[in-house]
Amino acid sequence: MPDGTIDRAVFEELKVTAGADFVGELVDTFLSEAPNMLSDLRRALDADDAERFRRVAHSLKSNSNTFGASSLAAMARNLELGGFGAARAGNGEPMSALADEYSRVAQALAELRRG
């Protein structure tokens, strides 16, 4: 698992307080919801819907923090606060970086879920 993708202390804490089985289900929920969030974010950007863009980025940030996905959370936060300006910087690099980081997070969470 790539270093720094998931803050293990945060993830372990979550397991302790909510229960390992439950966290497994929660990971499944996130992994099924997050791809929709990413495509939603892309659609909002294409449709010039700033309000929706901000809200989806906000949700993604919130969930990333829950699982200890600190880098993904920071990227989502940057988009939430920076809006289209931040998303379109460097020829849209932040959007593809976000998608790449999500892939790493998804892989790491799937591994953690298997234990």
Whether residue 41 contacts residue 57, with contact meaning beta carbons closer than 8 Å, is answered with yes
- With CB under 8 A as the rule, give the number of residues binding another protein: 20
With CB under 8 A as the contact rule, which of the stretches 12-20, 38-46, 85-93, 100-108 interacts with another protein?
12-20
The answer to whether 65 contacts another protein (rule: CB under 8 A) is: yes
From the list 79, 85, 88, 3, the residue with the least C-alpha distance to 37 is 79
The answer to whether 1 contacts another protein (rule: CB under 8 A) is: no
Of residues 67 through 106, those in contact with another protein by CB under 8 A are 77, 80-81
Three-state DSSP class for residue 49:
coil
